[in-house]
A = this chain, B = another copy of it.
Amino acid sequence: MVYKPYFKYLDGPPPLSVSCRRMVRLEEVDVLGIVWHGRYAGYFEDGREEIGRQFGLSYIEFKQAGALLPIRTLHVDYLLPLHYLETFDLETTMHWHEAARLNIEYKIFNSERRLTTQGYSVQMMIDLEGNLLLEAPAFFRDFQKRWRLGELTPCGY
């Protein structure tokens, strides 16, 4: 199946992508012998953590800057199942946005390079008391500046 994009193109730099490889664990498999659909939320979170590691945008960096990133929307389209012991590649792509917000897309490919799952998440930024932040922390605005100027290395696959 062909990947269908979720986010409209916004005037800005190209998206940033990372990739990680993973094997399905026995605990993740349900009564039908496939990865239980709710587990993909955890897979996508692994993808966000990989983006965080590669670009210095992890939960820890944001927390130290006084911000948290609750999930506002999660959307998953399940095209093909994943089975116990299957190895898969998770590609996580962060799309440009000017506001204090993260728009992230996910694609999972199995070992035959077939698209099994796609989805997206939207995260808002709040301070440690739970108030919505209209402006991102300074370190993230610096990151946006370097992203816009093309000074970041999109880690690829």
Distance, CA A37 to CA B21, complexed state (A) = 23
A38 at the interface (CB under 8 A from B): yes
- Say which residue of B33, B49, B73, B81 sits within 8 Å of A31 (CB atoms): B33
Which B residues lie within 8 Å of A60 (CB)? 84-85
Copies of this chain in its oligomeric complex: 4
Distance, CA A58 to CA B36, complexed state (A) = 17
Whether the pair A26, B45 counts as a contact (CB closer than 8 A) is yes
A10 at the interface (CB under 8 A from B): no
Q: List 29 A-B contacts (CB under 8 A).
A: A25-B45, A25-B46, A25-B49, A26-B31, A26-B45, A27-B30, A27-B36, A27-B45, A29-B31, A30-B31, A31-B31, A31-B33, A32-B68, A37-B41, A37-B71, A38-B38, A38-B41, A38-B42, A41-B41, A59-B84, A60-B84, A60-B85, A72-B77, A73-B75, A73-B76, A73-B78, A74-B74, A74-B78, A75-B75
| Interface positions of A (Cβ within 8 A of B) | 25-27, 29-34, 36-39, 41-42, 45-46, 49, 58-60, 68, 70-78, 81, 84-85
